[in-house]
Amino acid sequence: MTDADLGRRRLLKMFGLSATATTAAILQADQVLAATLGYDERTGVSPTGYTLPAGLARSTEAKQTALGWISAHEGTITKLSDDIWSHAELSLREWKSSLATAKVLEAEGFDIEWGSAGFPTAFVATYGDDGPVLGFNAEYDALPGLSQKQGVSTHDPLVYNYDAYGRTYGPGHGDAHNALGAGGTAATIAVARAIRVHGLKATVKLFGSAGEEQLVGKAFAVKAGVYVGLDAFLDWHPFNITVPFWNTTSALISATFTFLGASGHGGTPLGNKSGLDGALLMATMCEYLREKNVAPSGRFHYAIINGGGAPNVTPYMCSIWFFVREGSPQRARVLCDKIVECAKSAASASQTRLVHKFHSATWNLLANKAGAELLNDNMKQIGAPQFTDADHALAKAVQKSLGREEVGMPTALTPLTPPAAAYTGGLATDTADISWQTPTAVLLSAAYPPGIPNHNWGVTATAATRIGHQALLSAARYLAAAAVDLIEQPDQLAAMNQEFKDRTEGIEWASMIPDGTQPPLYRPPADFLRETGQSWPPEGVTWPVPQVVATEQLGTTGPALPPVTWPAVPETDRDLTRVLRSTAWLPKQKWRRAGRPGRAPQPGRARARRPPTRAGRPPTRKPPARRGPPSTRRWPPRSPPPRRPGPRTVCPCGSTAGSVPYAWPRPARSAPAPARAGMCG
């Protein structure tokens, strides 16, 4: 088998297609995916024969100045990370975290411009006005429910919200964006220091980005042109190993589907229209879709944001939030269209109204081999993050708690390798949209133990300890060192840009966000606006956002069916008849004509029909067996039977809507009937 065959087979696998298709046709069919993984095929990078280039990273005085600044300011940098960790602010509400980051940059002589693309917690910090422009990244948002005490190896939420019926945990940095923000900031300041001390001709910009966990901030900012004019972009992300990233990520679409209905009592649900039904039906249909209609590279997952407050109130508004992931924007749109069809059908089946809100969308990441190799060479020169025995012990304890192999923290760098043979789906990042504007180099640094997935309390536990500190300090050094190389070695920067041009040839980038889409926003606190010099709402933002109101009518139950459920479970034939009459299912006359098994015969007629005995004498009539009190043997009864004393069905809240559940034990006749609370629940 030749290398070309291997490459072709790999490409076919990558696209999930059969061997009858041609590579050229595939490349033509999805140029965006081809630009990421297919490019490496075309340029002859073989996963087995790849050798790492050496000599890219140089040790210069400017680089030593940059690295020296990081070593001299470890306390400042790790304090910023720990402060952001303790704020644990959710996406698009990073008021304290963004302010803390900007203040550190301001103190180092950066110009701060707040409110990028209308996001109050996004900013651009700039140093210099000459030479190539290098961009760095800072994110500082936390995740819901991932609160955890710092350095504690068993799940122990720092913020625990008590509710009698549903406990929740507070937000936490389960993706270590506290370390990410501080590491990116440190790298930018370090390069600025090298520019200042050595008179280098270059400009550095740190982009403080809002709402990365929801893939919002950068996607809108790129569309608004915030990232225009960069010569390269350098980014990192906390992970459980340390390695440069030379792969792609998923394209992603984020949208919420809200089902609007009509509320009512959960115990008398006929005619109510449940938004929760709509959301659950949609989720169920999508699960069937997943079984047969989703490629290996496709993913989707969802969360019900507002599923109702109590079982006895039919929720008339319920929102289900979807992330849809695929290998390229084109593929993500196809999968998203299938999911939208499920939403429409769910609305129809649940008799609810569907309101669909698009939030954000990003492309898949365009890697840069030249950038990854430059990062790798610098990482090898600087060395892997150094962890102490205490760090390894904490890592092993977290691994033990979560059922993973107790291997501690990684002691070496993971070697750079070409992208995997096939793209089988996975994570997404809004850095991806930047990667189609300018050559982008990304690395991962070990901020939590191997085997632990991100978005887990185990990450929150280690992200503000020495483990997280070592990850962010190492990442800052790697990024700063590579940036100084790009400034001092123009051919390195040119190589990244040439590769970028080659990869994107013939591809016309267009944001996946439709024109006129307003991003998800929260109104900032007044003191945040004052401190950052912003006004609210920003230009082009409609505020307040128009309300979504359920105006649906109750559903009809038809003329013969009053809108009640079965009033009581029958125990005897007599009870059954009463129930049938009360619900108008059986007219009185019709029941009489139909007769009733075991009915007492009428005097006279019954005697005439009785067959004679063998002796010719009329049979001796035996007294009928007594079946119960006389009143219950008459049919129909002359008057309604007296109600048996039973439990009170009046709720303390005053409602009489409840009925007696049949399975409950009946009180003894002699004992007084106890009042039963909560019957209307």
The distance of closest approach from Cβ of residue 449 to Zn ion in the complex, given in angstroms and rounded to an integer, is: 17
The distance of closest approach from Cβ of residue 214 to Zn ion in the complex, given in angstroms and rounded to an integer, is: 10
DSSP percent split of the chain into helix, strand, coil, nearest 5: 35, 15, 50
- What the block records as the tokens of 675 is 């009042």
Q: Which region among 19-27, 175-183, 287-295, 654-662 touches Zn ion (by CB under 5 A)?
A: 175-183
The distance of closest approach from Cβ of residue 146 to Zn ion in the complex, given in angstroms and rounded to an integer, is: 12
Q: Phi/psi of residue 74, each to 5°?
A: -55, -40
The distance of closest approach from Cβ of residue 178 to Zn ion in the complex, given in angstroms and rounded to an integer, is: 11
User: Could you give the CA distance from residue 80 to residue 564 in angstroms, rounded to a whole number?
Assistant: 61
The distance of closest approach from Cβ of residue 172 to Zn ion in the complex, given in angstroms and rounded to an integer, is: 13
Q: Which region among 172-180, 318-326, 416-424, 548-556 touches Zn ion (by CB under 5 A)?
A: 172-180
Q: What is the DSSP letter of 36?
A: I
Would you give the binding string for Zn ion spanning residues 46-85, x where CB under 5 A is met?
Answer: ----------------------------------------
369 neighbors 499 (Cβ within 8 angstroms) = yes
Q: Which region among 170-178, 297-305, 391-399, 413-421 touches Zn ion (by CB under 5 A)?
A: 170-178
> Closest CB to Zn ion among 93 and 676?
93
Q: Report the helix count and the strand count for the chain, using DSSP H and E.
A: 22, 13
> Closest CB to Zn ion among 180 and 318?
180
> Closest CB to Zn ion among 210 and 346?
210
The distance of closest approach from Cβ of residue 108 to Zn ion in the complex, given in angstroms and rounded to an integer, is: 25
Give the residue at shortest CB distance from Zn ion: 175
- What the block records as the tokens of 141 is 């948002």
- For the segment 433-452, give every residue that binds Zn ion (CB under 5 A): none
CA quadruple 517, 519, 525, 530: dihedral positive or negative? negative
Q: How many residues line the site for Zn ion (CB under 5 A)?
A: 1
The distance of closest approach from Cβ of residue 514 to Zn ion in the complex, given in angstroms and rounded to an integer, is: 25
**Residues whose CB falls within 8 Å of the CB of residue 345, separated by 6 or more in sequence, listed in order:** 281, 282, 285
Position among 83, 89, 141, 175 found at the interface with Zn ion (CB under 5 A): 175
Beta bridge partners of 265: 313
> Closest CB to Zn ion among 102 and 428?
428
The distance of closest approach from Cβ of residue 512 to Zn ion in the complex, given in angstroms and rounded to an integer, is: 19
**Residues whose CB falls within 8 Å of the CB of residue 531, separated by 6 or more in sequence, listed in order:** 99
228 neighbors 222 (Cβ within 8 angstroms) = no
> Closest CB to Zn ion among 10 and 173?
173
Q: Which region among 13-21, 157-165, 174-182, 439-447 touches Zn ion (by CB under 5 A)?
A: 174-182
User: Could you give the CA distance from residue 655 to residue 660 in angstroms, rounded to a whole number?
Assistant: 14
Q: E strands along 531-639, which residues?
A: none
Position 235 contacts Zn ion (CB under 5 A) = no
> Closest CB to Zn ion among 175 and 235?
175
> Closest CB to Zn ion among 15 and 233?
233
> How many residues comprise the chain?
681
- What the block records as the tokens of 582 is 């009360």
CA distances from residue 63 to 67, 108, 235, 444, 582 in whole angstroms, order as listed: 6, 18, 18, 21, 88
Tokens 């004052």 locate to: 530
- Maximum alpha-carbon separation in the chain: 135
304 neighbors 229 (Cβ within 8 angstroms) = no
> Closest CB to Zn ion among 89 and 175?
175
> Closest CB to Zn ion among 82 and 175?
175
The distance of closest approach from Cβ of residue 181 to Zn ion in the complex, given in angstroms and rounded to an integer, is: 11
Q: Which region among 68-76, 171-179, 496-504, 507-515 touches Zn ion (by CB under 5 A)?
A: 171-179
The distance of closest approach from Cβ of residue 475 to Zn ion in the complex, given in angstroms and rounded to an integer, is: 13
> Closest CB to Zn ion among 175 and 277?
175
247 neighbors 414 (Cβ within 8 angstroms) = no
Q: Catalog residues that contact Zn ion under the rule CB under 5 A.
A: 175
